[in-house]
């Protein structure tokens, strides 16, 4: 199981896209901060029928969209 599985499951349950999550919200879901490995693991989102559209380091947000 991926360390990001809880996040993917959370996003998959949302009906409204695009979905913008703050790094803080992601931390509250996962229990840890996202790191550079997120760039590799984000490819797993296709299995859940959504994609990571944008990661903003400036705004500290991640935007998800339906695939």
Residue 55: give the domain boundaries: 5-66
Report how many domains make up the chain.
1
Q: Quickly state the pLDDT bin for 63 (edges 50, 70, 90).
A: very high
Alpha helices in 1-67 (DSSP H): 5-12, 23-30, 37-41
Comparison of pLDDT for 51 and 15, the residue scoring more: 51
Predicted structure pTM score: 0.93
Query: In which region does residue 57 sit, left (phi positive, over 0), alpha (psi from -120 to 50) or beta (all else)?
Result: alpha
Report residue 39 as tokens: 């760039």
């Amino acid at each position: 199981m991926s360390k990001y599985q809880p996040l993917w499951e959370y996003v998959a349950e949302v009906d409204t896209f695009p979905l913008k999550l703050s790094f803080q919200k992601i931390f509250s879901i996962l229990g840890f901060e996202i790191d550079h490995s997120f760039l590799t693991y984000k490819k797993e989102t296709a299995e859940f029928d959504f994609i990571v559209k944008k990661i903003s380091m400036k705004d500290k947000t991640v935007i998800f969209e339906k695939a």
